[in-house]
């Protein structure tokens, strides 16, 4: 969930959680499947590359898959996020 601000038209962002903190219910948590988790272990730079790629998804694409509630609150569910194309 997120709102646009004066500084950004993108209501969504991806945060790389190095602390392993538990997220509240307004965040979607992405966990790699075992094969990808292994690749992250063998190539530590891959995780940061993927994170940057996720944050480079145009806001129009993300907003196009989700919905908007009153007051401009944007919401994107996990299955909607799965529909977002990501070129690697």
Bridge partners, 2 (sequence order): 74
Residue 77 lies in a domain: yes
| Contact by Cβ (8 Å): 80, 66 | yes
Which range of residues forms the domain containing residue 59? 34-82
Cα gap 76→68, rounded to integer Å: 9
Count of domains for the chain: 1
pTM of the model: 0.80
Interval 5-60: pLDDT, tens:
777 788 888 889 888 788 777 678 888 999 999 999 999 899 999 999 999 998 88
Residue 20 lies in a domain: no
| Contact by Cβ (8 Å): 39, 74 | no
Residue 9 lies in a domain: no
Bridge partners, 68 (sequence order): 74
């Amino acid at each position: 969930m997120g709102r646009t601000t004066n500084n950004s038209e993108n209501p969504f962002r991806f945060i790389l959680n190095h602390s392993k903190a538990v997220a509240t219910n307004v965040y979607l948590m992405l966990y790699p499947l075992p094969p990808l988790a292994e690749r992250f272990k063998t190539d530590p730079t891959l995780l940061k590359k993927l994170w940057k790629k996720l944050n480079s998804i145009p806001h129009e694409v993300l907003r196009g898959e989700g919905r908007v509630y009153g007051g401009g609150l944007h919401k994107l569910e996990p299955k909607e996020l799965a529909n977002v194309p990501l070129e690697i």
